[in-house]
Structure 1
Amino acid sequence: MASLIGRGFQRASISWQLGTLVAKTAFFRNRTFASQPQSLTKSPFDSNILRILRNEIEYQYEYAPPHQPDTKFNSFTVEERRGEQVVTIKGRFGECEDIKIEATMFDGCEHVPACGDDSSGMNLRLHLSLIVDISKGEGGTELEFVCSAWPDSLNVEKVYVLRPGRMPARPYIGPHFRGLNAKVQEKFYEYLDARGVNNELAVFLHEYMMNKDRIELLQWMDSLKSFVER
């Protein structure tokens, strides 16, 4: 997994270069005089972009092909929206609680020492942000948890109590979660764990987002290729 992540970040610059090349192509096309006939063949510049794009798409499919994502995890259902950086996950607890989770794609990382044969190097540990809303009936008070999801763990950062109706201009949103008494923190983690918001969910989301990242990248490159081919 770590090598896959590292390889993906190494190839991010290729995507940036491709975007720059396509932008330049569009600029020069727009400056073509109306009296000049349109060439029926691609210019060397366009042909070079297409060659790079086709090679990159082929490589991505061979290196780590995406798969059809699971839309169910335990009691949760994933609402996938292609082309967006956020997915929504919904579930219920008991007879009256609705749970809604909004998860970002990878929005940060940290470097950690590599293990095993590559112990002298560093690996990337990717991060997701979650907003977990728990409500009891429409129009009632909600609890909102702001969480960090790492590849194998879920950490709570903040807890809000959201009330319906007009909110004060500068509402008091509570202390930083890690500043709370350790026993209070523990009880909140137990509260979330009972509702399936736990380390297992973090593992699922990282696998899901890794696959989504591949799907979105390939769709983006295919859109670039279609533009240049026209």
Structure 2
Amino acid sequence: MSAIRALRHVSLSSSRAFAVRGAARSVSRAALPVFAARAGPVSSRAFSVSARRFGEGASDVALAQKLGEELQYEKDSASEAEPEFVRNFKAQGVWEIVDTPGNDEIALSRKFGNENIRLMFSVADIQSEQEADFEQGEEGEQAAEDTPVPSQPIRCSISVTKTGTNGAINVDALCQEGAFLVDNISFYSDAAVGTELTAEADWKRRGLYIGPQFDTLDVTVQEEFEQWLRERGITDNLSTFIPEYADYKEQKEYVGWLQQVKTFIEA
């Protein structure tokens, strides 16, 4: 189970923006390839037993070739150098990026006084955006070209612990359109229960009170929480970086997937 989804399923409704909203980030992505049934007869390429390579399947060579073409296209389209927006983010020296190849989740961590702050998000939301865009195109409901396309919200799980003090505050939020939208703020008296990404910790969290919906709190309490989060770096700049990095991460993982599958087919 995804660590973020294990920490909390975040509702997409009843959320309140607390960061300064930036300009809408329009993301244009290629439609995902699909298998479509063809009406007419399909000519097939004959593979003799002597001409086969790799496994015993007649389609192995053709599939490996197509994977290789897609892999080469992706490599030619992308620069091997780290993007400038990532270099600039790291140069600020505020957040450390924890990005493990093969994982679909990214963690940003930092120290703030005696506090340890961790923010986690996943590329799964980028994949959901691709599926939504494809379904929209199928139904013929695409927006006009001059209409800004809103970015898909990305779920974020923020945890705050203190060195030498037990307990943890967890914030469930959405990152969209240059703003963080808080869903709820939970407190765990046991920091391990609130922050560990294990099945045991997840099981313990399920039976605990997670706090009120954020937008049901008194407005002045909401405003003070918003300021509290901004002081810890949960700002509009960070909300702009997260969708960009999720897109960059998803592309890296896709290229790696192509290479691994091609290698397996050819073995």
TM-score (structure 1 length as normaliser): 0.74
Call closer, same or farther: CA 1:49–1:104 in 2, change over 3 Å: same
Deviations 1:62-97 (A, max 9, x none): 344464354735411011111001112111112x11
Call closer, same or farther: CA 1:106–1:149 in 2, change over 3 Å: farther
Of 133, 151, 167, which residue of structure 2 is paired with 1:125? 151
Call closer, same or farther: CA 1:198–1:215 in 2, change over 3 Å: same
Determine if the alignment matches structure 1 residue 41 to structure 2 residue 82.
Answer: no
- The residue identity in structure 2 corresponding to 1:103 is F
Call closer, same or farther: CA 1:219–1:210 in 2, change over 3 Å: same
1:1-230 equivalent positions in 2, closer than 5 A: 2-4=26-28, 6-7=29-30, 10=31, 12-13=32-33, 41=53, 45-65=59-79, 67-68=81-82, 69-70=86-87, 72=90, 74-94=93-113, 96-107=114-125, 108-109=128-129, 118-119=145-146, 123=149, 125-164=151-190, 170-230=207-267
Secondary structure of 1:172 counterpart? coil
Q: Which runs of 5+ in 2 are unaligned?
A: 1-24, 36-48, 134-140, 194-203
- On the 8 A contact 1:152/1:199 being kept in 2, the answer is yes
Higher mean displacement: 187-196 or 170-179 = 170-179
Call closer, same or farther: CA 1:154–1:3 in 2, change over 3 Å: closer
- On the 8 A contact 2:52/2:61 being kept in 1, the answer is no
Question: Which structure has more strand as a fraction of its residues?
Answer: 1
Look up the match of 2:46: none
Query: 2:218, 2:237 → 1: CA distance?
Result: 25
Deviations 1:161-200 (A, max 9, x none): 1102887983322211112122211111110000101221
Aligned length: 201
Call closer, same or farther: CA 1:67–1:186 in 2, change over 3 Å: farther
Q: Which runs of 5+ in 1 are unaligned?
A: 18-36
- On the 8 A contact 2:115/2:161 being kept in 1, the answer is yes
- The residue identity in structure 2 corresponding to 1:41 is R
Question: Which one scores higher on RCO, CA 8 angstroms, separation ≥ 6?
Answer: 2
Return structure 1 stretches of 4+ with deviation > 4 angstroms. 37-40, 64-67, 108-115, 165-169
Call closer, same or farther: CA 1:44–1:209 in 2, change over 3 Å: same
Structure 1 residue 3, shift from structure 2 partner: 4.8
Pairwise CA RMSD of aligned residues? 3.1
Deviations 1:12-41 (A, max 9, x none): 235xx6xxxxxxxxxxxxxxxxxxx98663
Secondary structure of 1:13 counterpart? coil
Identity percentage of aligned residues: 19
Secondary structure of 1:141 counterpart? strand
Query: 2:72, 2:226 → 1: CA distance?
Result: 44
